[in-house]
Amino acid sequence: MRSAYWIKNDIRINDNTALKNFCDQSREGLIFWCVDKNYHRLSQFKQQAVMEALGNLNEKLKAYEQKVILFSKPLIQILPTLIDELKIEKLFYTSEYAYHEKLEEQKINEITKEKNVQIETFDQATLVAEKNLPFTLDHMPLVFTDFRKKIESALIIEKPVPKPDRFPAQIELTQNLQSLVDSVAVGSSQDSSENHLLERMNHYFWETESVLSYKDTRNGLLDINDSTRFSRGLNLGSLSARTVYAELKKFEATVKANESTYWVVFELLWRDYFKFFSLKYGNKIFLRDGLKATGARKYKFSGQDKAKFLQWCEGKTESRFINANMNELNETGWMSNRGRQNVASYLIHDLKCPWTWGAAYFEKKLVDYDVDLNWGNWLYLSGQGSDPRSRVFNIERQAGMYDPDQLYQKKWTV
Ligand SMILES: Cc1cc2nc3c(=O)[nH]c(=O)nc-3n(C[C@H](O)[C@H](O)[C@H](O)COP(=O)(O)OP(=O)(O)OC[C@H]3O[C@@H](n4cnc5c(N)ncnc54)[C@H](O)[C@@H]3O)c2cc1C
């Protein structure tokens, strides 16, 4: 069969069910990725991360005489040409959870149907696959604790699949399609590549055994080993949640299991929660009133609100702790979970700006931006999501607890 494999947030060779099926079923194949408007909205940090991961995948494919083709247009625009000119019979891809991504998938599916092309999609971005949830999405518990407890009482986590042992022969592009190939440079540093993420996991689990103290250190602001730093890989799919789980179980069996090792799984279930939450509630996660949205209320914000928001973005508020976190974000694309919670609370409750402005700013800045996790966390903190209590932080108290010697503030005060 002549097939195409559309790379989405699954930029890896290991534990990739979609890639494995594509390889097993195809005699000739095209492996491609498309630039779309979502990509252009991302920060330079995340764009670079995507390129690093694609570059690393491309390197690995060379050994199999395959490569990653980067198209400069969204798939919707080029799919009919791709199918017609390359005589594609089947399309493989990993499905997403968020509203606009789902709409795009629907349109892609319509095109393939019109063209009589088969399609096979895979649900593999979460730790627990949707089909293994002990409830349907309609009955998904609204509150995280109930969600987690139900899952843990009937936990099914599939084993990682081995990498493909053979690849289909590469399909050559027509001249027409060749003109749509993007010459995007692949990033030089490899921080977000599959190789780097596997090394990072090895370092965090085995070399330093930092995972044994994760629960105590995860709120730290300064040390790279305070938390796993797997997020950029999990979101691009250069590392799978199932791979992390399998490695963690190996570590627990060989070295030690404790509350901290369990807590990594606990956090991965938060990740699953926001993914399924997004799948269930669709575009409500982007609305200011969230789950309570009626479309009735009109908001008016003044120039003063906008000025306060800009000060927050630029790290020029009255709080040195908030400014330090925003400076780190602006300079590196990274902010700790503790920092994210504090700056969100400050924007919503101290500056009284809409949470959606903050979420949109994070979207443009974070190196590990993920649509479901970012908008889900902001919505949750705003009190318009699954939990009616909004999370209000006393910023100065938090600074005293998590940065008692002000080392973090000294580092990130510009
Ligand atoms: C306002 C706000 C916005 C956020 N935006 C994003 C985002 O765009 N992308 C993103 O990956 N995370 C986001 N998070 C969640 C969390 O801050 C990051 O996942 C975490 O800081 C990444 O660091 P780590 O990999 O070292 O996490 P660790 O503490 O080591 O956790 C391990 C993994 O568990 C998952 N996880 C941890 N905390 C959360 C959480 N609160 N919600 C969902 N999953 C979680 C992540 O996949 C993470 O990589 C956001 C949190 C807040 C409060």
Mean pLDDT of 236-265: 98
Angle at 293 between CA 326 and CA 379, to 5 degrees: 25
| β-bridge pairing 68-71 and 90-94 | unpaired
Could you give the CA distance from residue 266 to residue 401 in angstroms, rounded to a whole number?
A: 23
CA of 100 to the centre of ligand 1 (A): 21
| Poorest-pLDDT segment among 6-20, 38-52, 146-160, 346-360 | 38-52
> Are 28 and 48 within one domain?
yes
pLDDT at 296: 57
The per-residue DSSP string of 119-133 comes to EEEE--SSSS-GGGS
Calculate the average pLDDT of the chain: 94
CA of 271 to the centre of ligand 1 (A): 7
Could you give the CA distance from residue 122 to residue 192 in angstroms, rounded to a whole number?
A: 22
Does residue 383 lie in a domain region? yes
Using CB atoms within 10 Å of the CB of residue 198, give its burial: 0 to 12 exposed, 13 to 18 middle, 19+ buried.
Answer: middle
Does residue 158 lie in a domain region? no
Cite the DSSP H helix spans in 63-203. Answer: 75-86, 99-114, 144-153, 175-178, 194-202
Which of 144, 221, 231, 238 has the most ligand 1 atoms within 8 A of CB, as the residue to mutate?
231
Which residue, by CA, sits nearest to atom 17 of ligand 1?
337
Q: For residue 302, give the CATH number of its domain.
A: 1.10.579.10
pLDDT at 361: 98
Tokens of 123: 């649900």
Which of 263, 278, 373 has the most ligand 1 atoms within 8 A of CB, as the residue to mutate?
373
> Are 298 and 277 within one domain?
no
The CA-atom distances, in angstroms, between 302 and each of 115, 299, 350, 352, 354 are 51, 10, 16, 11, 12
pLDDT at 174: 96
Q: Do the beta carbons of residue 43 and residue 333 sit within 8 Å?
A: yes
Does residue 292 lie in a domain region? yes
Q: Nearest to residue 100, comparing CAs of 91, 111, 108?
A: 108
CA of 316 to the centre of ligand 1 (A): 25
Does residue 250 lie in a domain region? yes
First-residue to last-residue Cα distance in the chain: 58
pLDDT at 82: 97
Q: State pLDDT tens for residues 4-20.
A: 999 999 999 999 999 99
Nearest atom of ligand 1 to the alpha carbon of 369: 8
The residue type at 369: Y
Q: For residue 278, give the CATH number of its domain.
A: 1.25.40.80
Q: Do the beta carbons of residue 53 and residue 187 sit within 8 Å?
A: no
pLDDT at 184: 61
CA of 339 to the centre of ligand 1 (A): 11
The DSSP code for 41 is H
The residue type at 280: K
Does residue 141 lie in a domain region? no
Q: For the chain, count helices (H), then strands (E).
A: 19, 6
> Are 337 and 266 within one domain?
no
pLDDT at 385: 85
The CA-atom distances, in angstroms, between 369 and each of 62, 103, 208, 232, 238 are 29, 20, 27, 8, 14
> Are 227 and 116 within one domain?
no
**Residues near ligand 1 with C-beta < 6 Å?**
218, 227-231, 234-235, 264, 267-268, 270-271, 274, 336-337, 340-341, 344, 362, 366, 368-370, 373-374, 377-378, 381
Identify the domain boundary among 253, 282, 311: 282
Which of 191, 262, 271, 391 has the most ligand 1 atoms within 8 A of CB, as the residue to mutate?
271
Which of 232, 322, 337 has the most ligand 1 atoms within 8 A of CB, as the residue to mutate?
337
> Are 57 and 100 within one domain?
yes
> Are 302 and 391 within one domain?
yes
Q: For residue 41, give the CATH number of its domain.
A: 3.40.50.620
Q: Do the beta carbons of residue 171 and residue 29 sit within 8 Å?
A: yes
Task: Note down the domain range covering 381.
Answer: 287-411
Identify the domain boundary among 81, 97, 124: 124
Mean pLDDT of 388-403: 90
> Are 278 and 295 within one domain?
no
> Are 26 and 116 within one domain?
yes
Q: Is the dihedral of CA 15, 77, 51, 370 positive or negative?
A: negative
Report the percentage of the chain scoring pLDDT > 70.
96
| β-bridge pairing 2-6 and 169-170 | unpaired
What's the number of domains the chain is made of?
Answer: 3
Q: Do the beta carbons of residue 206 and residue 251 sit within 8 Å?
A: yes
> Are 291 and 392 within one domain?
yes
Does residue 375 lie in a domain region? yes
Q: Nearest to residue 240, comparing CAs of 3, 6, 2, 9?
A: 9
Q: State pLDDT tens for residues 157-211.
A: 999 999 999 999 999 999 999 999 987 656 555 689 999 999 999 999 999 999 9
Q: Which residue has the tokens 């604790």?
A: 145
Mean pLDDT of 49-58: 94
> Are 18 and 111 within one domain?
yes
CA of 374 to the centre of ligand 1 (A): 8
Identify the domain boundary among 258, 282, 306: 282
Tokens of 381: 């903190």
Local structure of 336: helix, strand or coil: coil
> Are 120 and 1 within one domain?
yes
Nearest atom of ligand 1 to the alpha carbon of 274: 43
Does residue 181 lie in a domain region? no
Q: Strand ranges (DSSP E) for 85-209?
A: 90-94, 118-122, 169-170
Does residue 157 lie in a domain region? no
pLDDT at 187: 57
Which residue, by CA, sits nearest to atom 23 of ligand 1?
229
CA of 235 to the centre of ligand 1 (A): 10
> Are 223 and 236 within one domain?
yes
Q: State pLDDT tens for residues 63-105.
A: 999 999 999 999 999 999 999 999 999 999 999 999 999 999 9
Mean pLDDT of 285-296: 81
